[in-house]
Structure 1
Amino acid sequence: MSNTFSKAADSVPNTQWLPVILLWVAGISAAMQFAKFSVSFGDLLVYYEMGPTLTGASLSAVGVAGLVFGVSAGMIASRVGYLKVLVGALMLGGVLSFIQATLPTFHVLLVTRVLEGFSQLGVVVAAPTLIAKLSAPHHKSLTMGIWGTFFGVAFAVCGWIGKQLLEEHGMTTLFLSHGVLITVIGVVLFLVLRQNSVLDIAAVVGNQGGFFSQMARIYRNPRALLPSVIFLFYTLTLVSVLTYVPSLSGDAEGNKWMLIVLPLISTSGTFIAGAIAQYVFRPQKVALLAYSGLAVSALVLSVSVNGSIWFSGLVCVMVLFLGMVPGSALAMIPTLARNPGEQAQSYGLMAQFGNIGGTLGPPTFATAMAAYGLSGLVGLILCICCFGVFFSLLAGRIKPAV
């Protein structure tokens, strides 16, 4: 991998906020590929009559591409060009949403979901790399914190506006609306960024060597690997905590309230972590703080009374610390990476590890809780926090790239 282009060469004196916000919206539109099927899951069950297992597969199929091709996507983006990959991924997502709006046969729908995984992967690799290039050095951790909120914001918007569209106009309108959104943002980004000198392709292409040798080099590179490992332990935990913990409250009304509030608290934690990493601590210290806070709050939760306001408050604190992890991990990448190519490969590796965590986490937590209840949940979180603290300390020993 060529290190010809220094971080100074990749920096801009002033953050280009409009393109950064548009790229964030692109991330939201890509995350809606998950969220739109989440909010319409019941309607899909009724319409296709394929049962919860196969219908559930249509929900999770988007993650297959990231699971298998995460690292290679970063390598391809660094060679083809980030803007080309981003716009192409958004256009692909639009076409697939338009196909889904016709409510095709279930097998065609499943194929579109797998292909949407490539669309989503292209966006999550290219967009944060472009955000980092368009951000001034004194704003990079902050803009990464903003970027890290895209997934939670997508679910919040789909849960609000998407659910309303679904109830009033049906699945066709929901999928059609998403297709329009993701296509329009793709066109707008192309028009806004196509002549942006900061995104000159010459600044991101170098002699990167053979495909497999480069892939092996990425896995051996601690600057790419450690932020992704720190992110892995977050994805192992988040979905399970959001899914299983509210039911432990013993209060149906409280359970419903936490299902709405906890994702927003997690998203707030991500943004807060980006701000702290920008103005107070290095991102590695923020990750250390996040995992330490998560461990302490989980310990206190284990001795609290289920159903109490104290229990609900502790869960909120725990999710806030958990939400800080991705903000810190994302902020580490532009801090540690030595050039935009290395950044893109780090985001690809992070996408791959994120999908691994999202796949392994829920069944692991379900098994622990089935055997030991709340103690199983807390014990597993503490084990994960030990690994998170260890790798955060390890990442803290790496000097920032200059």
Structure 2
Amino acid sequence: MVDRTSFPLVFALWGAGLGAAGQYAKISVIFDQLPAVYPDAGAALGFIVSLVGFLGIVFGVVAGLVVARIRYRRAMLGALWAGAALSLFQATLPSLPLMLASRALEGVSHLAMVVAAPTLIAQLSAERHRGFTLTLWSTFFSVAFTLLVALGLPLVDALGLPSLFVAHAVWLAVFAVILGLFLRPIEVPPEGTLSLSGILRDHVTIYRSPRIAAPGAGWMFYTFCFLAILTVLPPYIAQEWRAWVIGAMPLVAIAVSLTFGVYLLRFISAVMLVQVGFALCIASLLWLWVAPGLPVACLALAGALGLVQGASFAAVPQLNDTAAHQSQAYGGLAQTGNLGNTLGTPVLLAVLSVAGFPGLVWTCIAVFACGIAAHAWMAARRS
């Protein structure tokens, strides 16, 4: 454990994390333009987005095991350079099978980054600063999406689709150079073996441990609702407020996590803050049940989700002392998070079609209540 936080390296790792989130966001923000590139793709076009997430479901825990064995710095740099090369290849707008193959490989690069980076940030942060540094890390997805909408789409409008892939490759390469020059190796004895039996044992070890599994357990319930809510909520917001509210919700979540979230972590545990966040989510949803689409209630929900977002990552080093266990926990976060993201939107859309907005609200309330219960159960097991 270090006494002083290396803030330049922490911010460099966060910047690299923006590139990792960009592996999702660069496709999402231009998805409506892809049918012109692949006119015969049909439903298969959706796999360009989902392949990265599917790999996270299947190999999230494996990534934690692999990254710990090949060392965190080496994994981070390899993933950055691989991601840059793949983005340059995608800038050629290859045939659909080759694009899908590149996205599958990009999923491997993405997993390595989202496991290695927060583990490195935790190791580079003094105990008193971990609440801030890991909350900062937790914003990487929201910030990346915001930047790509604000800067990436105008770039595409000016220079065409390939320019976005080239810009993403340059971003990853720049941070690969910075981290290659200044990030020192962190020597941590690996745990587990890279055999099939070892990987299966690693899954059992993670999900039986109330310390390693707890952050990922709560994270699954968060991710199940977060993107889905942003997807299904807009029609219920008044037209004149809709774009502003949906654009502001991720920013409010970031602001709350970096201010109130970091402040509260000085007084209560990260797990307790996750539960408080879930409880406030439920209160906000009840407000929306009474006043569907009310802008201030939508923003209150986003703020509550921001507390869960930051505290979930901060919980990993609070509950796990060793880098190997932290890596396993971040692998679990990657796996459960991708599972929640993949299932949440289709499930809530199905609920919406059957039970309408009240059904949607009460389903989300039940999901967040399960998040509180999961953390309470694991806390009881730890004590």
Give the TM-score taking structure 2 as reference length: 0.95
The match for 1:336 is 319
Structure-2 separation of matches of 1:390 and 1:277: 21
CA distance in 1: counterparts of 2:142 and 2:176, whole angstroms = 21
Assess if the C-alpha contact under 8 Å between 1:227 and 1:332 holds in 2: yes
Q: Give distance in 2, aligned partners of 1:50 and 1:256.
A: 32
Residue 297 of structure 2, aligned match among 296, 304, 314:
314
Return the match for 1:154 from 128, 141, 144.
144
Counterpart pick for 2:164 among 151, 174, 178: 174
Deviations 1:277-332 (A, max 9, x none): 5322110111111011011111121111x46xxx1110110121122212111111
3-state SS of 2:348 partner: helix
Shift of 1:206: 4.4
Q: Per-residue deviation at 1:274?
A: 4.4
- Name which of structure 1's ranges 265-274 and 35-44 shifts more when overlaid on structure 2: 265-274
Q: Distance in 2 between matches of 1:387 and 1:45?
A: 39
Q: 2: CA distance between counterparts of 1:147 and 1:396? A: 24
* Residue in 1 that maps onto 2:280: 293
Asked whether 1:12 is paired with 2:7, we answer no
| Aligned position for 1:237 | 225
Number of the residue aligned with 2:123: 133
Task: Please report how far the alpha carbon of residue 352 of structure 1 lies from its aligned counterpart in structure 2 after TM superposition.
Answer: 0.4
- Matches of 1:111 and 1:56 in 2, distance apart? 14
- The residue aligned with 1:222 is 210
Aligned to 2:19, the other structure's residue is in SS state: helix
SS in 2 for 1:279: coil
Are the structure 2 counterparts of residues 272 and 231 from structure 1 closer, same or farther at C-alpha, using a change threshold of 3 Å?
farther
Structure 1 pair 147–79 and aligned structure 2 pair: CA distance change class (3 A): same
Q: Partners of 2:113 and 2:216 in 1: how far apart?
A: 17
> What is aligned with 1:261?
248
Q: Which residue of 2 aligns with 1:3?
A: none
Amino acid at match of 2:344: G
The structural deviation recorded for 1:241 is 0.6
Report what 2:189 is aligned to.
205
Q: Deviations over 1:146-193 (max 9, x none)?
A: 000000000001001101101000111111111111111112111111
Q: Partner residue of 2:99?
A: 109
2:241 alignment partner AA: G
Instruction: Supply the distance in 2 between the matched residues of 1:277 and 1:128 (Cα, whole angstroms).
Output: 20
Cα offsets for 1:342-363 (capped at 9, x unmatched): 0001000110000110111011
Post-superposition offset of 1:395: 4.3
CA–CA separation in structure 2 for the residues paired with 1:129 and 1:361:
27
The match for 1:5 is none
Change (3 A) 1:354 1:206: closer
Unaligned regions of 5+ residues in structure 1, if any? 1-10
Q: Per the alignment, do residues 218 and 141 of structure 1 end up closer, same or farther by CA in structure 2, a change over 3 Å counting?
A: same
Q: Is residue 77 from structure 1 mapped to residue 67 from structure 2 by the alignment?
A: yes
Whole-Å separation in 2 of the counterparts to 1:147 and 1:56: 28
Tell me the amino acid that sits aligned with residue 363 of structure 1.
Answer: P
- Fraction of identical pairs, as percent: 34
Find the aligned partners of 1:94 and 1:331 in 2 and give their Cα distance. 29
Gapped regions of structure 2 (runs ≥ 5): none
- Secondary structure at the residue paired with 2:290? coil
For the pair 1:21 / 2:7, whether they are aligned, the reply is no
Q: Could you tell me which amino acid in structure 2 is paired with residue 268 of structure 1? A: A
Q: Deviations over 1:261-282 (max 9, x none)?
A: 1121222233346403532211
Task: Give the AA of the match of 1:294.
Answer: C
The 1:398/1:191 distance shift into structure 2, 3 A limit, reads: farther
Give the aligned partner of residue 310 of structure 2. 327
2: distance between equivalents of 1:294 and 1:282? 18
What is the deviation of 1:399? 6.2
Contact 2:68–2:191 (CA under 8 A) maintained in structure 1: no
Among 259, 266, 276, the residue aligned to 2:263: 276
Which secondary structure state, in structure 1, belongs to the residue aligned with residue 213 of structure 2?
A: helix
What is the TM-score when the length of structure 1 is the normalising length? 0.90
Does the C-alpha gap of structure 1 residues 390 and 347 become closer, same or farther in structure 2, counting only changes over 3 Å? same
- Cα distance change of structure 1 residues 18 and 398 upon mapping to structure 2, 3 Å threshold: farther
Contact 1:273 1:328 in 2 (8 A): no
Does 2:41 match 1:36?
Answer: no
User: Match of 1:4?
Assistant: none
Per-residue deviation at 1:93? Answer: 0.4
Deviation at 1:215, TM superposition (A): 3.0
Moved more, 16-25 or 319-328: 319-328
Separation in 2 of the partners of 1:114 and 1:145?
28
Partner SS state of residue 211, structure 2: helix
